[in-house]
Amino acid sequence: MDIRKIKLSEASKHLSEISDPPKHLYIRGRKPDTAKTFITIVGARKNTSYGQSVCQHLIKGLSKYNVVIVSGLALGIDSIAHKYALEYGIDTIAVLGSGLDDSVIYPRTNFALAHKILDNNGCLMSEQEAKSSPMKHTFLSRNRIMAGLSEITVIVESVKKSGTGVTARLALEYNREVGAVPGSIFSAMSAGPNGLLLEGASSISSAEDIIKAIGKDEILDIKEIPDNLTDNEKTLMSILTSDMTKSEVIEKTDMPVHTVQITLSILELKGLISERGGKIYRAF
């Protein structure tokens, strides 16, 4: 278990710019690529199916860009954001209100998710000492780090007054962009984002809305397929769309089955695809 102290600049290009930056910052896992664009996605702990669907829609769309998804490992939208980032091959940072030692990771129901993030080259981050237990005030402190790391904070679902709303307010204080996903006027879970929209937050319905809100719709790097692929690798990459099974891939090509299997394994080693639950996902 490798918990180490890092400089704020090693965590993000923007964290040191906030009015109350953390004095200490600890990390567990791979240091984030600060050349990428950080996007914080947070929301209700008791999310609806609409919130989950929106989260998947946004993160799937973001997978073609060089971005990092930041969230707080909490139940609900936070953990959903991490899970879809992993599913679609996007780097993710979980900012904790506890220390980073296994004994205090919170919530305990997301302990396995925390380790999955570590196993997939993501990281856990906290300003708390390694074995510090979470407290109410440490979660509020955690929210400012999530807002400070990123260029935009996107609120998917929240009630009118919540910790998610605090994160949005902090982002505004730090002169960062805030985006909100509009929702039904009959849903309490949409009261938070709908209220933010009335106050001038950017309306978010797609990944492109997020990129446009931070002013990078013309300059943000899009992931590109490497030039040094073999003909077989290029063929499979041209066929693959998200959520395909291996059988579906085989049906779409004239390659022998064993060649498809070997080529898919090579593409996964190169980080261009991943295979989970019997389905193959492009990394972008």
pLDDT digits (tens, 9 = 90+) for 247-277: 888 888 888 888 988 988 888 887 788 776 6
Question: CA separation (Å) from 184 to 89, 116, 134, 157, 191?
Answer: 31, 33, 34, 11, 8
Same domain, yes or no: 186 and 236: no
State the DSSP string of the chain. --EEE--HHHH-SSGGGSSS--S--EEEESPP-TTSEEEEEE--SS--HHHHHHHHHHHHHHTTBSEEEEE---TTHHHHHHHHHHHTT-EEEEE-SS-SSTTT-SSGGGHHHHHHHHHTT-EEEESS-TTPPP-HHHHHHHHHHHHHH-SEEEE----SSSHHHHHHHHHHHTT-EEEE----TT-GGGHHHHHHHHTTPEE-SSHHHHHHHTT-TTTSPBP---TT--HHHHHHHHH--TTEEHHHHHHT--S-HHHHHHHHHHHHHTTSEEEETTEEEE--
**Residue 77 near residue 113, CB atoms below 8 Å:** no
User: What are the residues whose beta carbons fall under 8 Å from the beta carbon of 74, sequence distance 6 or more?
Assistant: 42, 45, 107, 110
Peptide bond into 107 cis (omega under 30): yes
- Of 213, 241, 266, which closes a domain? 213
Same domain, yes or no: 146 and 235: no
Q: What is the mean pLDDT of the segment spanning 51-60?
A: 95
Same domain, yes or no: 191 and 253: no
Same domain, yes or no: 100 and 33: yes
Please give the residue range of the domain that contains residue 252: 231-282
Classify residue 258 by burial, with Cβ atoms within 10 Å: 0-12, 13-18, 19+. exposed
Quick one: what percent of the chain has pLDDT higher than 70?
93
- In a domain? residue 219: no
pLDDT band at 217 (very low <50, low <70, confident <90, very high): low
Same domain, yes or no: 277 and 156: no
The radius of gyration computed from the CA coordinates of the chain, to the nearest angstrom, equals 19
**Residue 44 near residue 76, CB atoms below 8 Å:** yes
- In a domain? residue 85: yes
Domain count, the chain: 2
- Of 159, 183, 213, which closes a domain? 213
pLDDT band at 225 (very low <50, low <70, confident <90, very high): low
pLDDT band at 241 (very low <50, low <70, confident <90, very high): low
Same domain, yes or no: 62 and 114: yes
Nearest to 80, CA basis, from 62, 101, 54: 54
Question: CA separation (Å) from 21 to 55, 71, 138?
Answer: 28, 17, 14
Q: At residue 218, does pLDDT exceed 60?
A: no
Where is average pLDDT lowest: 100-104, 201-205, 234-238, 277-281? Answer: 277-281
CATH number for 271: 1.10.10.10
Same domain, yes or no: 79 and 123: yes
Same domain, yes or no: 181 and 238: no
pLDDT band at 96 (very low <50, low <70, confident <90, very high): very high
CATH number for 104: 3.40.50.450
| pTM of the entire predicted model | 0.80
Interval 167-192: pLDDT, tens = 999 999 999 999 999 999 999 999 99
- Calculated CA dihedral for residues 119, 124, 129, 131, nearest 10 degrees: -50
Same domain, yes or no: 164 and 236: no
- In a domain? residue 240: yes
Measured at the CA of 217, the angle between CA 90 and CA 14, to 5 degrees, comes to 60
Identity of the amino acid at 210: I
Where is average pLDDT lowest: 72-81, 117-126, 138-147, 271-280? Answer: 271-280
- In a domain? residue 170: yes
**Residue 54 near residue 77, CB atoms below 8 Å:** no
- In a domain? residue 198: yes
- In a domain? residue 181: yes
pLDDT band at 1 (very low <50, low <70, confident <90, very high): low
Where is average pLDDT lowest: 17-26, 114-123, 206-215, 270-279? Answer: 270-279
- Of 166, 185, 213, which closes a domain? 213
The more confidently predicted of residues 164 and 203 is: 203
Phi-psi region of 215 (alpha: psi -120 to 50; beta: other; left: phi over 0): left
Same domain, yes or no: 190 and 250: no
Q: At residue 231, does pLDDT exceed 90?
A: no
Q: At residue 219, does pLDDT exceed 60?
A: no
- In a domain? residue 221: no
Q: What is the mean pLDDT of the segment spanning 160-166?
A: 86
pLDDT at 19: 92
